Structure formats: structure tokens, C-alpha cells
Amino acid sequence: MFLTDRKLILVLTSVVVSVFQSATAEEPDKNTATLRSAFKDDFLVGVALNTAQVDGRNANAGEIAARQFSALTPENDMKWQSLHPQPDRYDFKGADAYADFAEKHGMALIGHNLIWHSQTPRWVFQGADGKPATREELLKRMEDHIHTVVGHFKGKVKGWDVVNEALSDGGPDLLRDSPWRKIIGDDFLDHAFRFAREADPQAELYYNDYGLENERKRANCVKLIKGMLERKVPIDGIGTQSHFNLNQPSPGEIEKTIQAFADLGLKVMITELDVDILPGRGPQGNADINRREQADPAANPYTGGFPDDMQEKLARRYAEIFGIYLKHRRSITRVTFWGLDDGTSWLNGFPIRGRTNHPLLIDRQLKPKPAFFSVLKAGMESPAK
Ligand code: XIL
């Protein structure tokens, strides 16, 4: 590469801004300047989308997503509460729009998720007379749900997050004391993966969690998955969510995590990448959606815009992260961002509601940020080229 970094970024900026602005840009040179093409020999680059972005209501966002990304995860619409709100009622209408969108735009569809303690209706864990369900009742319910949902999307979903966030964040126990574990027992994961494999033998099956860059949680994850592999439970990959911030986790911990999972012989996926740029007081890296922090105006400093020095910081952090991903590109099969743009990021509401966060590559006006160009540049200079 003969251009200096700054010159290359300027060239990329003018090319890509025009691609963002003109939905009908056809020139091949412009079309090559996308994330999906820059990383095509490395890994899939995915995005989590919401309903309005795939059903045409937010057509501009949908076009950008389809042009830039090669994989798609529904942000909420395949969760239990969306697909199976009542015992005898499944509702696939919302989720089917993602399958259509993914097919139309040649994107890999990721199913998120089958078994989780959050966004799951209360009735799931109840038996007759409002008493807690028995192990047999809950296993049967799990089997029906997984067979029905995975069966419905058979041939359309590339891979499923079969179990989400089963590991504990502290204490002596390996597993979180979720209703799944309390009622069924530690083997609930084994059953979930086996039901999923029965329903679609071709789909890849993943374990997905946050905070796996933490030494204790990473070690526990390795232990959990090793046990499953020894028991011949069908699992193909591990998703590390990667809800990061500007300083944490360190590059060393990010790298150790990828390596630890690759060493198990499994595919490694970065499934929910974002970089929180707002101040936080609670345990960083804990992305449990039920965690809340006290609101405080000092914790919301960028309501009027994102200053240049912060843009640069974010761009450098993303360059650092993608440097690691590219180094491990033979182990990593997908890197998915948790949201298309800053305006729709869940981090505007977590862990404090109503803040203005700037964690992604695309801003609220759907324009690429400096961070977008630093990631694009990393891809265009990938060792695979
Ligand atoms: C989040 C969504 O982004 C929000 O819209 C929703 O209100 C709560 O869930 N880990 C996960 C995701 O696995 O499903 C979560 O998504 C973010 C944390």
C-alpha cells in the first residue's frame, strides 16, 4: 500500500460517502468499498437489525445494511417472547420478514435465540395452577419450542444461538441460577442443543454469552463446552458477544478469548460487537439486560454530538479490535455489530435509559463515522488480499 493512512482514509471517505448517499450507485469501484466485500476472504460481517429496517418502513437503513453487511441477526424478533407469546400460539410474521430480507440480499441469517432467561414469558416456567413447572413439563416445552421454531426456519437459518448467557457472573457456581437450570438442572443445555440438531441437522449450533474476556468467565466457558463435547453434545461454535467499551477489555484478553475457543476446535464468532463510549459505574462488560445503573446527567455528556477527538478515539479502538480479528481470521467465521447505527443502538437505553450513545460505525444521520473508515481500511489491507 503506497498511500499513507491519512490519504487512504480520505480516498475511502469520498468513495464511500457517495455510496451511502446514492442508493443506486452502480460503478464497480464504488461497490467494492463496502465492509462485506472488504472482509469477504476473512469472515462474514453481520449486523443486528430491527423490524422497521427490514420491512421497508426504514428503507434507507435497509439499503445501507444490505449493501454493507453479509450476515443478519434479528435484534429481538426471534426471541421466545416474540415467536411464542402464549402456550398455544406461535407468531412467525415478524421474523419471516428477516428471512425474506436475508434471502433477497444474499445475507446469512442468524437465529437469535432459542433458550435464554430474558425476554421469555413467565408462563414458560409455570405448570398447572401457577406452580413452577416440573422438569418433565419444561423439557417438553423446550422440545416443542425448539422443534417448531428451528423446523419453521429450516434451510433458511445458517446457525442458531441455541443457548444464550447460561454462565454465572460470580459466585461458586459455573452456571447462572436461571429458571432453566433451577427446574431442569445443569443438563438443560445438552437437551437444547440435541433438540436443535434434530430439527435442522444442517444448521450450525452456537453457545453465546457476554463478558467471556473476563478470565474467570472464559475459563468457565471452556469448562462448560469441554464437558458438552465429551458428552457428544452437537455444538459447532461459540459466540462472544463483545459488548466492549473504549478501554476494556484489553487487546490481550480479547485475543486470549478467541484463542481459547479456537483451541476447542470450534468456530469462533463475534456476535454483538459495539463500543460503549459513555461513562459507566457498574461492572463493565456485564451485558445482562436486566442490569440497571442510576441515571446521572454527568453520565450523558454527548447529547449535542460526538466531538472529533472522541471520533478518533473510537476509530482507533475499532482498528485495534479488527487488527486482532484479522490476525485470527482463520478461527473467526463472523463478526456481527449489534445494531446498524447509533440512533438505533440498544446502548442508548442500557444500563441507563434515555442517554445518547455513539457506539457503532454509522451515525444517527446514517452517515459513516471515522470508525467506519478505520474498519473498512483494516479489511482492505487484510493479509488475505
Ligand atoms: C437487546 C436488544 O438490543 C434490545 O432491543 C432489547 O430491548 C433487549 O435485548 N445480549 C443479547 C441481546 O444477547 O439479545 C440483547 O439485545 C443485548 C445483550
Query: Which residue's C-alpha comes closest to atom 9 of ligand 1?
Result: 289
Cα 346 to ligand 1 centre (Å): 7
For residues 294 and 307, give the distance between their C-alpha atoms in angstroms, rounded to a whole number.
Answer: 25
The one catalytic residue in 137, 165, 204, 213 is: 165
Using alpha carbons only, how large is the chain's radius of gyration in Å?
21
Count of positions (residues) in the chain: 385
The pLDDT of residue 335 is above 60: yes
Sequence letter at residue 286 = N
For residues 237 and 261, give the distance between their C-alpha atoms in angstroms, rounded to a whole number.
Answer: 8
Mean pLDDT of the chain: 93
The predicted pLDDT at position 17 comes to: 58
CA-based torsion, 289, 197, 177, 168: positive or negative: negative
The predicted pLDDT at position 28 comes to: 35
What are the CB-based long-range contacts (under 8 Å, 24+) for 130-134?
A: 132/179, 132/182, 132/183, 133/183, 134/183
- Average pLDDT of the segment spanning 327-333: 98
Q: Residue 339 CA: which ligand 1 atom is closest? A: 3
The predicted pLDDT at position 283 comes to: 87
For the segment 83-142, what is each residue's pLDDT rounded down to a tens digit? Answer: 999 999 999 999 999 999 999 999 999 999 999 999 999 999 999 888 999 999 999 999
How buried is 286 (Cβ within 10 angstroms: 0-12 exposed, 13-18 middle, 19+ buried)?
A: middle
The predicted pLDDT at position 282 comes to: 84
The pLDDT of residue 10 is above 50: yes
Contact yes or no for 319/378 (Cβ under 8 A): yes
Pocket of ligand 1 (CB under 6 A): 75-76, 164, 241, 272, 287, 289, 346
- Give start and end residues of each alpha helix (H) in 69-214: 80-83, 93-104, 135-152, 179-184, 188-199
Contacting residues for 87 by C-beta, under 8 A, at least 6 apart: 123
Q: DSSP string of 8-26?
A: HHHHHHHHHHHHHH-TT--
Q: Is the peptide bond before 249 cis (omega within 30 degrees of 0)?
A: yes
Sequence letter at residue 356 = T
Domain ranges of the chain: 1-45+52-69+311-385, 70-240
The pLDDT of residue 38 is above 80: yes
For residues 192 and 175, give the distance between their C-alpha atoms in angstroms, rounded to a whole number.
Answer: 15
Q: Residue 116 CA: which ligand 1 atom is closest? A: 13
DSSP bridge pairs for 159: 110, 204
Would you call 165 a catalytic residue per the annotation?
A: yes
Name the more confident of 158 and 24. Answer: 158
Contact yes or no for 252/220 (Cβ under 8 A): no
Contact yes or no for 294/259 (Cβ under 8 A): no
Q: Residue 165 CA: which ligand 1 atom is closest? A: 13
Rounded percentage of the chain residues whose pLDDT exceeds 70: 92
The predicted pLDDT at position 281 comes to: 83
Cα 30 to ligand 1 centre (Å): 33
The pLDDT of residue 9 is above 70: no
Contacting residues for 210 by C-beta, under 8 A, at least 6 apart: 165, 240, 241, 242, 243, 272, 285, 286, 287, 288
Cell of 87: 402456550
For residues 146 and 141, give the distance between their C-alpha atoms in angstroms, rounded to a whole number.
Answer: 9
Helix, strand or coil for residue 131?
A: coil
Task: Calculate the alpha carbon distances from 163 to 8, 66, 192, 195, 198 in Å.
Answer: 42, 27, 7, 12, 16
For the segment 254-291, what is each residue's pLDDT rounded down to a tens digit? Answer: 999 999 999 999 999 999 999 999 999 888 899 999 99
The pLDDT of residue 22 is above 60: no
The predicted pLDDT at position 153 comes to: 98
- Average pLDDT of the segment spanning 333-350: 98
The predicted pLDDT at position 26 comes to: 38
Can you point out the beta strands (E) in 210-306?
237-240, 243-245, 267-276
CATH 3.20.20.80 fits 70-240, yes or no: yes
For residues 379 and 385, give the distance between their C-alpha atoms in angstroms, rounded to a whole number.
Answer: 9
- Average pLDDT of the segment spanning 187-195: 99
Query: Which residue's C-alpha comes closest to atom 5 of ligand 1?
Result: 346
How buried is 26 (Cβ within 10 angstroms: 0-12 exposed, 13-18 middle, 19+ buried)?
A: exposed
Rounded percentage of the chain residues whose pLDDT exceeds 90: 88
Grid-cell match 476494556, residue found: 248
For residues 223 and 265, give the distance between their C-alpha atoms in angstroms, rounded to a whole number.
Answer: 14
Contact yes or no for 165/217 (Cβ under 8 A): no
The predicted pLDDT at position 1 comes to: 37
